[in-house]
Amino acid sequence: MQKFNIVILISGYGSNLKAIIDYVNNFNLPINISAVISSNNQAYGLTIAQQHNIATYILDSQRDSRHGSQDNLSSALLNIIHPYNPKLIILAGFMKILPEQFINYYPNKILNIHPSLLPKYPGLNTHQQVIDNNEPEHGCTIHYVTKDLDAGPIIAQQKIAVCHDDTKETLKLKVQKLEHELYPKVIASLIIKVNNCSSNREKYELY
Ligand code: GRF
């Protein structure tokens, strides 16, 4: 079976990374998670990747913070990612702003997951903002990455009702559960659609 490469960018715990790895393995999908790149050398997601024999890379934060950092970050990412010729680049809790030059190099190939129902609440602290504004519902959004933060075309959303006793901590847990279900399905669906795979079409061609 021909497999299609994807690369995953993380900065932290890696629970979405784990959900994607498990889904790809459980459903024997034609996807090869070629590399995991972290902006943080302490990210637990690096351990998860290594446990699954996935190549790992750590971005050099010292170099990125120097003058010309966006150019540096773009070339550092391209140097790692280009050889894999990925069909998709997946941001899974990646906490750096991607350089425009890098985004332009991979049009419609970079996906992000965001813990709110965009266009509401781009940026950080989404769960607290939902509580402060008495929102009746909350959720997560998967979207294409463009130069504008959390504002690219939306691919999929999943919602939950906000309960009167929810806190930012309970909302975080509930939204992450949604993320772990939705992100792997969207990735599988896009890979199968874009590459015109015949197997499992009906099952995954959802988005
Ligand atoms: C997720 O909740 C995602 O929405 C946000 O960052 C978090 C990453 O969590 N962008 P994890 O590292 O996948 O556990």
Ligand 1 centroid to residue 180 C-alpha, Å: 9
Residue ID of nearest Cα to ligand 1 atom 9: 93
31: its two tokens = 């996807």
To the query of whether residue 114 is one of the catalytic residues in this protein, the response is: yes
Q: What are 162-194's pLDDT values in tens digits?
A: 999 999 999 999 999 999 999 999 999 999 887
**Active-site position among 114, 138, 143, 180:** 114
Most ligand 1 atoms within 8 A of CB, residue of 9, 15, 160 to mutate: 15
CA 61 from centroid of its chain's CA atoms? 20
Helices (H), 52-167: 61-65, 69-81, 100-105, 126-132
Q: Which atom of ligand 1 is nearest to the CA of 44?
A: 12
Pocket, ligand 1, Cβ cutoff 6 A: 10, 12-17, 45, 92-93, 113-115, 176, 179
Residue ID of nearest Cα to ligand 1 atom 1: 93
Ligand 1 centroid to residue 198 C-alpha, Å: 32
Q: How far is CA 22 from CA 49, 56, 76, 176, 207, in A?
A: 11, 17, 28, 15, 20
Q: What are 36-62's pLDDT values in tens digits?
A: 999 999 999 999 999 999 999 999 876
Residue ID of nearest Cα to ligand 1 atom 10: 93
Q: Are strands 110-114 and 31-38 parallel, antiparallel or unpaired?
A: unpaired
Q: What are 122-142's pLDDT values in tens digits?
A: 999 999 999 999 999 999 999
- Scored b (16 or more CB within 10 A) or e, 177-194 reads ebbbebbbbbbbbbbbee
pLDDT the model gives residue 60 = 82
d(CA 150, CA 68): 23
pTM of the model: 0.93
Confidence of residue 201 (pLDDT cuts 50, 70, 90): low
Compute the average pLDDT of residues 53-72: 79
46: its two tokens = 């690096």
- Among the listed residues 147, 63, 65, 64, the one whose alpha carbon sits nearest the alpha carbon of residue 105: 147
Compute the average pLDDT of residues 68-94: 94
